[in-house]
Structure 1
Amino acid sequence: MNIPVGFGAVTPYIFADDAAAYLEFLDLAFGSEELGRSVAPNGRIANAQIRISGTTLMVSEASSRFPASRAAFYLYVDDADVAMARALGCGATHIMDVGDMPYGDRQGGVADPCGNIWWISQRLTKDPYF
């Protein structure tokens, strides 16, 4: 099997209304790095590849054939409180306060402007399993 460098066998792919604004949100809220972008002749984003903390995602402009998709992501960060505040300040909607969980994570939740859920988590233990 030949998989491009930086991609996994399974790579999240999001169709977003106003993909350009969504990519900007991902950059400001979660520090994404844009790896590449293909733009159609009409200016719409046909495909963009980004990386957030080592994980690659793809984003395209939604259309009638491929409507906006919704997903949930579990994002590990160094400081859940800081990352949560940053996401909220960038336009995310509060879902769950940050708190210590019984499985060893400090976690809060937001919905991004496209309706995707982000569980923002900070690992509190070195235990590799829940």
Structure 2
Amino acid sequence: MKLPNEHQAVMPYLMLNKANEFYAFTRTVFNAEETLRKLRDDEKTIMHSEIQINGNTIMYCDATDEWKPQTANLFIYVEDADITFKKAQDAGAEIVMPLNNQDYGRTCGVKDPFGNTWWITATNE
């Protein structure tokens, strides 16, 4: 199977209110890089956009009357869960699960201002 560059076989596709602000959040918290952006005819509404976080793609768009908001739970490995947790809070995320140590790593959960829950984890290695 041949996949387009920068794509994986399974990728989340989020339909969000304030999709442009979602990109700003992911850039600030997870160092996301936008790889594609297509706007609707009004030149404001995101019809389709893609970001990369550590080589993984998340697709998203602005929700519309036809395509209602659809958010997700996303599990993400990071280098330092404490730093990422602080960045997420500073960027407006709500704490779902405080930082704690588990057998699989240092972990926490935050809900971003767009309704997505991020399960942030740094491994014990």
User: TM-score, normalised on structure 2?
Assistant: 0.94
SS of residue paired to 1:21: helix
**Structure 2 residue 35 is matched with structure 1 residue 35:** yes
Partner of residue 124, structure 1: 124
Within a 5 Å distance, the mapping from 1:10-49 to structure 2 comes to 10-43=10-43, 44-49=45-50
Please tell me the residue identity of whatever aligns with 2:80.
D
Aligned-residue RMSD, C-alpha: 1.0
Task: Specify every segment of 5 or more residues in structure 2 that has no aligned partner in the other structure, as ranges.
Answer: none
Partner of residue 83, structure 1: 84
Partner of residue 128, structure 1: none
Task: Give the Cα–Cα distance (whole angstroms) in 1 for the partners of residues 70 and 30 of structure 2.
Answer: 19
Within a 5 Å distance, the mapping from 1:53-64 to structure 2 comes to 53-64=54-65
Within a 5 Å distance, the mapping from 1:89-104 to structure 2 comes to 89-102=90-103, 104=104
SS of residue paired to 2:28: helix
1:2 Cα shift?
2.6
Please tell me the residue identity of whatever aligns with 1:61.
D
1:23 Cα shift?
1.1
1:18 Cα shift?
1.2
Please tell me the residue identity of whatever aligns with 1:95.
V
Task: Specify every segment of 5 or more residues in structure 1 that has no aligned partner in the other structure, as ranges.
Answer: 126-130
Task: Give the Cα–Cα distance (whole angstroms) in 2 for the partners of residues 25 and 91 of structure 1.
Answer: 8
SS of residue paired to 1:29: helix
Per-residue CA deviation, residues 62-87 of structure 1 (Å, 9 max, x unaligned), is: 01211111210111001100100001
Task: Give the Cα–Cα distance (whole angstroms) in 1 for the partners of residues 2 and 42 of structure 2.
Answer: 32
Task: Give the Cα–Cα distance (whole angstroms) in 2 for the partners of residues 66 and 19 of structure 1.
Answer: 13
Task: Give the Cα–Cα distance (whole angstroms) in 2 for the partners of residues 29 and 79 of structure 1.
Answer: 11
TM superposition outliers: structure 1 runs of 4+ over 6 Å: none
SS of residue paired to 1:64: coil
SS of residue paired to 1:124: coil
1:105 Cα shift?
1.4
